Structure formats: C-alpha cells, structure tokens
Structure 1
Amino acid sequence: MRTANPRARSRRTSAILLSAVLAISALGVAACGGSSSSGGASTPAHGPLEQNHLRIGVPKDEIGALPIFTGVDKGYFKDQGIDVTVDDSYPTYQAALKALTDGKVDLVYDDYVHAILAQSTGTIRLQLVAEGYTAGDGSVQLLSKVTDNRSEAQIKAVFGAAGGFLTPMSGTGDADTEYTVPTVMLMTRLPDIANSLKIRADATGEAHLKPMTANAIGDKLTGTADPNVAAVQPEPYFSFTAGNNKVVKLMDLTRGSTQAMPMGGYFTKQDFAVTDVNLFKAFTTALNQAKAVTAQRATAMAEMQAHYGTMASSTVVANISFGTFPTTVSVDRLGRVVTLMQGVGLAPYYNIDTMMPPDAERGQG
C-alpha cells in the first residue's frame, strides 16, 4: 500500500475549501439579490425605483390600513428602498381621495364602493395597487339601543322611522356617492324590506338611511332618546361602541352573500401607476410582508394600540373581530362589490377592469 503524496493531498484539500467558499459566497449574493438596503438602493427583481418616497393618505382609525403601520414600524418599506410617510388625519374617505386628487399624497386607502363611485362618475381615474382588507366574521354589525323588541321587530321599527339607519358615509355630501361597503352590506341583508328601502330622500325629503362619519355613529346611537334607531358599525367602531355602552346586536352583516366581504384597498392615479411601475411593485412586496405579520393577532393588537389612539384601548383591541389582509388582487373577489352595488342601483354600467392592475388574478376569487 502506497502513502499519498503530502503535497498532492494539500492541493486537494485547498481546492475543496476554495469550492466551499465560492459556493457560500454565491448563496450570499443570491440571498442579497432579492432585497434592498434602507439607503434607497433599488431591488434587482423590480428594477430601479422611479422615486424613493411614497406619501400615503389613510382615513383616521381605518382598520384595513393596519399593515401600513406594521410595514413602517418593522422597516419593510425601508428594506425595499422606499421612504414612506403616512398621513392618517383624514376624517373621511372623500377627504383622503381629495388629497390624492390635489397631489398632496401619492396613494390612498379607500373604501371600495366609494372608489368605484368616484371612478364611475368621472371624478378621478384610479388604479387599484393592492387589496387592503376583507371583513372577518362578526366584524360588521347592525346595532341598536336596548329595547323590549326582538331583533326582527326592532329592525322593522327602525325602518318605519325616517333616517333610522345610521350608516358610515364616504364624505362626499352627495346622496348618489355617499355610500360605503358597510352601507351596501346593510341594503343587501335587510330581510323582507330591502325592496322598499329608500336609500335616497323622496319627495317628502325623507330617507331610511342617515349617513354619518363613522366615529360619530356610536355617540349618536347611544345619546339619542329615540328607541327606533339602529347603526351600522364596522370594526374597530363596533367593539368601541359595544365596550363602552349598552347596545344590542340586531344583525351580523358578515353572513350569506356578504360574508368575507372585500372592504377597501390602496389606490393611486392611473397615470402615476403607469410611470412608477417599479415603485409600486416594491411597495406591494413590502406591504405583503407586513400583511403576513399583521395577520398574527398579537401584532395587529400591538400596532393598533400604537397608532389608533382612544379607539384602541386594551379592552377594545382584545375584543376586535379582525378580518384578513389579501396579498393578491382578485378580479372575481372585487367583482362581488360591484354585484352588490348594482343590486341596489349603484354604478349599473361599471366595469371593474377599468381600475385593475395588469397582474390582477381572474378565476381565483
């Protein structure tokens, strides 16, 4: 048996070590290639960012925009090279949309019904950049003051009173464009009386719906002496009202045709979406990271308490019925909103494709 040449053995060992080092280095480069530094370097998978700053407008206390705060706090947008600033002071969806129209923000979170009505009436050309939020079980409720009536009888009593149904408004001030997803959910779900529901004022000036800002609905419901009043409240307003006042649930609006209802999403001007394609690809990549983390209840609760003020006390947050945060844009899913709208006479000729992004999914709603 011959003894191996020490020099040959040394050369073989060096070659093996060199190969291992090169392999590890290659893996490191591949891993780094899918991300970017917070200093503004572009992500190779997206191409160079057209700009590094994105201004986002969010209606105050909008639960659907919760992942935006997660993304900022955890640095996901920075990792994609985007410096995100959030203005969540807008009292209504219309106020946020006007800021987009006026060039004060680049992107807004908007209620789907409001955005569709704005586009269908020619107010603005919008493109959906990313879906925002889908209602969870029990997250949109029809509430009433405590009475001796059963729920069905109380709903009919409220129907008999002008303006008895308090509904969240978009802020347009126009009876034809004041609707939001929770309002359409109510009009879809009212038993027996839906066909007679006056959604606009008639010749007498009366209507069954009374639109109000979402944060005022709870105070109006519990502060009035009139027993024949009911209020549509989505989260977090529902848990806030239920946790601080004596109210009863007349109807869970997240059932049947309105179960898992798409509520709102992130919109920009169509021209901006076309010119800044890589920016919005990077944005949605970071947003999807944030959505995945916000889907964990502990993270959602912590982010709410950090950013939602008095609306997010520990008692309220502990009882919130959270929905889900879709990471894809589905034409079929959003088509459900249009179907419900058209069922009550809103945007009868609207084509949802006019605001869909190029990579929207079809047949997977």
Structure 2
Amino acid sequence: MHSPFRRIAISLRVLLVIVTALLATGCGPAFSPEHPLAIRVIIPSELDALPLQLGVERGYFADEGLAVTVIAEHDQYTGVHTLVGGGADLAFGAGTIVVESAYRGLDVKILAEAGWLGERTAAIVVRGDGSVPDLAALAGRTIGAPSPGSQDRLLAQARLDNDSDAVPSARVEWVLMDMSERTASRLANRDADAVVLREPWLTDAVRAHGFIALAYLGDTSIIHPTSVYVATTGWTKKHPDAVAAFQRALHRAARDLQDDRAAFDALAARHLNLAPDTAARMGIPVYPTSGPSVLQLQRIPNLMQRYGILAEPYRVTPLVLASRP
C-alpha cells in the first residue's frame, strides 16, 4: 500500500501531465527565435504585401520565432486554393476573394488585415483631351475595369453611386479589362472612355500619358479593407501562438512603413520593380497596425451584396480571429 506522500507525488505527476497536455493543445508546438516555427506565406506583388516583405527583411518575424518563407503567386484565387490544399500555411487575398471563397464553403480564417484603401491609391482615370470633363459626363460612356465582383470594380461602382454629382454606375457600360500596366495603353488606344486604375500603375499612367485622375476611390471618412491574410481553421487551432506572433510582427512592420515614407519608397521600388521616382510619387495604402476588425471587414460583404455578388447578407464574424497581445 502506498504511503500518503507517495500518493500525493503520483497525483502531482498526473496533474503535471494533464496540464502539459492542455497547454500543448491550447498553444501548439513550442517555438522561439532559437527554434523557429517554419511558415510558408503566399503573396502577390502588391503594395498591400509590402509590410510582410519588410518584416521578413528586418527580422521582425524571426524575433517572434517565425521562419517565414515567401511564395510568390500572382493569382490570388490560386493562392487561397493552394493554401486550403495544404501547399502553404498562410495566404494573402483580396477581401472580396476571401469573402467569396468563404461564402462558397472554403475553409479560411482571417488572421490579419494586410491593407486598407488609401486616399489616392486607386482612381477612375480619363484621357487628358477633355472628352470626359467630370463624372456626370460618363453617362452612356465606357469604363474599363476588372470582372464584376472584383474589388476594384465594386469600389468604382460605389464611388459613382455615392456621389450625387456623378452618373449612377448602372448608366455606365463596363468593359472588361484586367488590372495591369497594359490598362493605361488600352485607355490611350480609346478602348474605353475611362478606366479604373490603382497603384503601382496609376501614378505612371497619369505621368506618362497625361491622363487625369477624375475621381479617387478612397474616402478618408470610411476605412475599407482591401486585403487580408488567411489560414485554415486547422492551422489556426494548432498554432494559436503563431497567429499572435504573426500579427505582432506584421503590425510592427506596418508601423514602420506608415512612419517612414523613404522606407516605403525603397521597398516598393525593389519588390515591385518600380523606378525610384515612381515609387516616391505614388499613393500609399493605409497599413493596419492592429486588428483584424470585424467592423471594418464587414464592409466587404456588404459591398458585395449591394451589387449582387452575394445573394444574401453575410457576416464575417466567424471568419475573423481576434488579435492577441
């Protein structure tokens, strides 16, 4: 028969095992700067992805115990599906792409906002020949924009419909155009009367072709998230501490870019293959330094439902992971 002291010792060891197991379940595998957790992150060459690039370069993720490997992928639908298929741990995606994917049943969780629409980062652009003097003159005219449901097109539609002096978006003929450096040439060739352009092509197009930014899509009174980072439910449950570490490192890099325009210019020129003077002239997104925010992210499905992309109201609350200290 065991002595009382031995029974207490055994009970304490059992308790220790249980507590250790619970901690392991709640916090995921241990990691540190000396023993980092490897994570693969899919990103495109986009302004909104620059804080992640800066965080990698300055060692902010390494400081948090994360060894980040960047996987380049231009197509964000492909990136999100690659993530869900196990080809990466995190992926960057436009807000509309992520909401549409989740709405259709894809397993994604939003762990961070990558960027918000800047005041001068996207615009409805026209030729400088005076053929379209204002937004009202677009009635019955053509606007080149990406596909229906794309973020750029939805924001342009909202810009027109929210302006009492503009033509309603339903009275404009929308011409399908991809968003790239070729868009400016198509406007110059009169394939449309106006186009929707965003950085990093907007500034170059205005300067090189003498175009006019007729109306910027950003509104300083409304925060509109444009892109996010997502992971699968399984990954976030296995690595809750890594989620928090990723958020801290990303927000640290975002603060650097918000406070240091020279750092932004150098990073944009290097990662987006821009001329230094182009990087220095263009509009900069707003880089979130906290969150993710359900209130702000809810604006994405609201906009999608407004223009018929979603058939019914959709709440993002189940998708969004709260930020941790």
Q: Which TM-score band applies after superposition, normalised by the shorter structure?
A: 0.7 to 0.9
The secondary structure found in structure 2 opposite 1:337 is helix
For 1:28-47, list aligned pairs within 5 A: 38-40=33-35
After the TM superposition, which residues 108-119 of structure 1 pair with which residues of structure 2 at under 5 Å, given as runs?
A: 108-119=91-102
Larger Rg over CA atoms: 1
The answer to whether the Cα contact below 8 Å between 1:243 and 1:315 also exists between their aligned partners in 2 is no
Shift in CA distance, 278/333, structure 1 to aligned 2, threshold 3 Å:
same
Secondary structure of 1:208's counterpart equals strand
Equivalent pair of 2:179/2:197 in contact (CA under 8 Å): no
Cα distance change on mapping 1:69 and 1:213 into 2, 3 Å: same
SS at structure 1 position matched to 2:317: helix
- Please, which of 143, 148, 158 is the counterpart of residue 188 of structure 1? 158
Structure 2 residue matching 1:212: 3-state secondary structure: coil
Percent identity at matched positions? 21
Deviation at 1:270, TM superposition (A): 1.9
The equivalent of 1:8 in structure 2 is none
User: Secondary structure of 1:294's match?
Assistant: helix
**Does the residue aligned with 1:128 lie in a helix, a strand or coil?**
strand
CA RMSD of the aligned region, Å? 2.2
Distance 1:256 1:293 in 2: 21
Residues 316-360 of structure 1 show CA distances to partners (whole Å, capped at 9, x for unaligned) of 111111121112111111122222222112222311113111449
Other structure's SS at 2:314 match: coil
Residue number in structure 2 paired with 1:151: 134
Q: In structure 2, how many angstroms separate the alpha carbons of the residues matched to 1:92 and 1:328?
A: 25
- 2:110, 2:228 within 8 Å by CA — same for their partners in 1? yes
Query: What's the CA shift for 1:116?
Result: 0.6
The CA deviation at 1:37 is 5.8
The residue identity in structure 2 corresponding to 1:184 is L
Determine helix, strand or coil for the equivalent of 1:271: helix
The yes-or-no answer on 1:55 pairing with 2:40 is yes
Unaligned runs of 5+ in 1: 1-35, 42-51, 159-163, 170-177, 198-206, 361-365
CA–CA distance in structure 2, aligned partners of residues 146 and 230 of structure 1: 11
Q: How does 1:133-212 map to 2 (within 5 A)?
A: 133-149=115-131, 150-152=133-135, 154-158=137-141, 164-168=142-146, 179-190=149-160, 191-196=166-171, 208-212=174-178
Q: TM-score, normalised by structure 1?
A: 0.72
Counterpart in 1 of 2:282? 320
Change (3 A) 1:196 1:102: same
Residue 335 of structure 1 aligns to which amino acid in structure 2? Q
1:243 and 1:316 in contact (8 A); partners too: no
Q: Structure 2 vs 1, CA of residues 58 and 219 (structure 1 numbering), >3 Å: closer, same or farther?
A: farther
What letter matches 2:168 in structure 1? I
In structure 1, what is the Cα distance between the partners aligned to 2:146 and 2:278? 19
Q: Call closer, same or farther: CA 1:239–1:341 in 2, change over 3 Å.
A: same
Residue 22 of structure 1: aligned partner: none
Give the SS at the match of 1:232. Answer: strand
Which residue matches 1:81?
65
Distance in 2, matches of 1:273 and 1:74, equals 25
Matches of 2:78 and 2:307 in 1, distance apart?
25
Q: What code does the residue aligned with 1:251 have?
A: A
Q: 1:256 to 1:282 in 2, by over 3 A?
A: closer
Cα offset, 1:238, TM superposition: 1.0
State the secondary structure of the residue aligned to 1:264.
Answer: strand
Match in the other structure for 2:107: 125
TM-score (norm. length: structure 2): 0.80
Residues 67 and 291 of structure 1 are in contact (CA less than 8 Å); yes or no, is this contact kept in structure 2? yes
Q: Mind listing any 5+ residue stretches in structure 2 that lack a counterpart?
A: 1-30, 161-165
The CA deviation string for residues 251-308 of structure 1, in whole angstroms up to 9 with x for no partner, is: 1111377x44211111111221112111111111111111111112111112112211
Match runs of 1:1-365 below 5 Å:
38-40=33-35, 52-60=37-45, 62-88=46-72, 90-122=73-105, 124-149=106-131, 150-152=133-135, 154-158=137-141, 164-168=142-146, 179-190=149-160, 191-196=166-171, 208-222=174-188, 224-226=189-191, 228-255=192-219, 259-295=222-258, 296-309=260-273, 312-326=274-288, 327-347=290-310, 348-359=312-323
In structure 2, distance between residues paired with 1:292 and 1:256: 19
Letter in 1 for 2:176: K
Q: Is the 8 A contact 2:184 2:205 kept in 1?
A: yes
The residue type paired with residue 40 of structure 1 is H
Deviation at 1:127, TM superposition (A): 0.5
1:54 alignment partner AA: I
